[in-house]
Chain A
Amino acid sequence: MRPDSAEPDLSALSTGDLVVESPAAVPAPPPPATSGFELTPKPATAPDADRGLLEVAIGPHHPSTHGVFRLNAVLDGERIVRFKPVFGYLHRNHEKIGENGTYLSAMPYTDRLDYFCSLSNNWAYALAVEKLAGLAVPERADYIRIITAELTRIQNHAALIGFLLQELGAMGTPLMYAFREREKILDLFEALTGARMMCNYLRFGGCRCDLPAGWLEECRRVVEGLPRFFDEFENLLSTNEILMARTQGIGVLPPELAVSAGVTGPMLRASGVNYDLRKVDRYGLYDRFEFRVPLGEHGDVYDRYMVRILEMRESAKILQQALREVPGGPIVDPKVKLRNFRPKAGEAYGRLESPKGELGFYLISDGSTNPYRYRIRPPSFINLTILEDMCQGLTLQDALVILGAVDIVMGEVDR
């Protein structure tokens, strides 16, 4: 499936046509190209209507856009010429909210970024603050974090595959199978944190509360049942001819472009780039567990689907190992104050492998109780950078499948 040349043709990339306000009226002369992936401003072309092109706005309210999100497509017949995502319908300036509140008060807001994966969002933020303030996390808390993060990954991937299949026209069935399993995991979250989705569970230097009685046994029972679900899901989907016809060779993302565009997570690994922060940064206690990083070969939508299935299986392996040996001890560093938490002045960038990709928090402290700068690096936002490149020349229905496989949640894209 991979194109013969390693360098894709980017000449068709649209650039300045939709500019509303362009401060760089006279763009600087393009610097000499040293790589095939450099973007340079393109001279203006004839208006679309003169070329017989049709502009269609998909969204903001459209079942395929995973939320309130608009895609401005310019079509030549059924083929896509330009594909511009328009964001901001869910924008609430999360970063400003974070800067106006204390370090602790930003924690419940992180739940609402990617509302499928609140526990890994919590962890990413806690990781950044712990790096900023130089806090250590007790072993038991790290185990709980890994267990909850991997459960989050499984339920996110399962739901995503369900939604992807929904995009392909498989109305309901795969999604409901995924949701049935997700429900069991959400029940575990509810028993542990009190909420199914907006967990707000982690605290700087540990977790909020200890595991309730019997939680580990229940979790083991759910994890034991997971492989059966994966097998069932794969029987249902993996060899399905319609799925293969619709996804193989569609939305191919060459690895060089993926790296340059900062694509992370399963999408990057589907393009064959071995970059999993659990292996690279070894945050938490991930180096204690044995797991593999599944890699794709072609970088198409089918590979993205398959990488997610395999990642779920690996996550189940991590869970089995982690649940065998949860140590006792405290769950939170007792020295960390809940109120009046003031890290010393400086900055830190903490990142982890969230189910959607690299989720980073960049914090600047000026020594006060509120962060001076609170920045989120949202994986699903940045993974959309190359949406247009992947859809170029394909039909509209392929584009929606490609969008589905990017795995976006608008709460995180718009923040």
Chain B
Amino acid sequence: MNLPGTGIIKGMVETARNFVGSYHDPERLTTIEYPEERLTQPENARSFPMLIFDDDPVKGLRCVACKICEKECPPQCIYIVQDRDERGKPRKFPRIFDLDISVCMSCQICVEVCPFDSIKMNTEFELSTDDRFGRLLLHRDDLAKSNEYYHQIHATEAAEVDARLADEKAKAEAKAKPAAAKPASPVPTAAKAAAPAQPAAPVKSPAADKPAAKPASPAEPAAA
């Protein structure tokens, strides 16, 4: 056994080394002065969900109000009302899309279940407010963010999504071509032909085409 007190002295030496080191060794100085200095967030960082639009913040929303995220959200913080046209026919567009971020737990499950790549995670974290019931309930227009913004914050992921959507669109177009050439083809094509006739489908949204593109095995050779 050592002399009594050597253990304490050993510890003191360690703290002294850290103290001196904190002046020159970046490994030992790990804090930053937050509001002035900022760390860059990693690409995967997430805070709360946002809705992606392509061109126009309202018309270009990819969301088709399918309500899958509303159903799957574990804390049930999403509230969606589907839009309807003058005759009361449902349009593929959310009239109301509310997200209560005082309830949202940033789990990202809405992003995973969304079949239209419409809802994604934002990285903005400075959201504190003194209005508990007003500013913490985000509406559709607060949530709408452009695809360019999405590219800025999640570059890799956004590139993957864009590639996937472009691919799907190409497939759908390839499938639509033979369908237009042969109007007397069987049922799925007929349903496909009917889809563009709907007034609701947002022009730019590839999402609207996606469900029809799903059973597209005959079109695959054409796409390849």
Contacts and interface: CB of A to CB of B under 8 A. Distances in A.
Direct contact of A and B (CB under 8 A): yes
Contact of B113 (A177, A209, A338): A338
B106 A212 contact: no
B6 A239 contact: yes
Interface string B136-165: 000000000000000000001000000000
Interface residues of B, number: 33
B74 A108 contact: yes
Interface string B96-124: 00000000011111001100000001000
A304 to B, nearest CB: 18
B109 to A, nearest CB: 7
Contact of B68 (A101, A107, A238, A339): A339
B14 interface: yes
Contacts of B7: 238-241, 243-244
Interface string B1-23: 01011111011011100100000
A192 B44 contact: yes
B43 A212 contact: yes
B106 A195 contact: yes
Contact of B11 (A108, A193, A209, A240): A240
Contacts of B106: 195, 198
Nearest to B10: A235
A235 B17 CA distance: 12
Given A105-B109, A177-B18, A198-B106, A339 B72 contact: yes
Nearest to B17: A232
Given A237-B11, A242-B8, A194 B108 contact: yes
Contacts of B112: 208, 338
A173 interface: yes
Contacts of A195: 45-46, 106
Report the contact-size class of chain A (Cβ under 8 Å from the partner): 35 or more
A191 B44 contact: yes
B102 to A, nearest CB: 16
Contacts of A241: 4-5, 7-8
A189 B109 CA distance: 18
B2 A239 contact: yes
Contacts of B45: 190, 194-195
Contacts of A244: 7
A108 B13 contact: no
24 contacts: A101-B74, A104-B109, A105-B72, A108-B74, A190-B42, A190-B44, A190-B45, A191-B43, A194-B121, A195-B45, A200-B109, A208-B108, A212-B43, A212-B156, A225-B27, A235-B10, A235-B13, A236-B10, A236-B15, A237-B11, A240-B7, A242-B8, A338-B113, A339-B113
Interface of A: 101-102, 104-109, 111-112, 173, 177, 180, 183, 187, 190-195, 198, 200, 208-209, 212-213, 225, 232, 235-244, 338-339
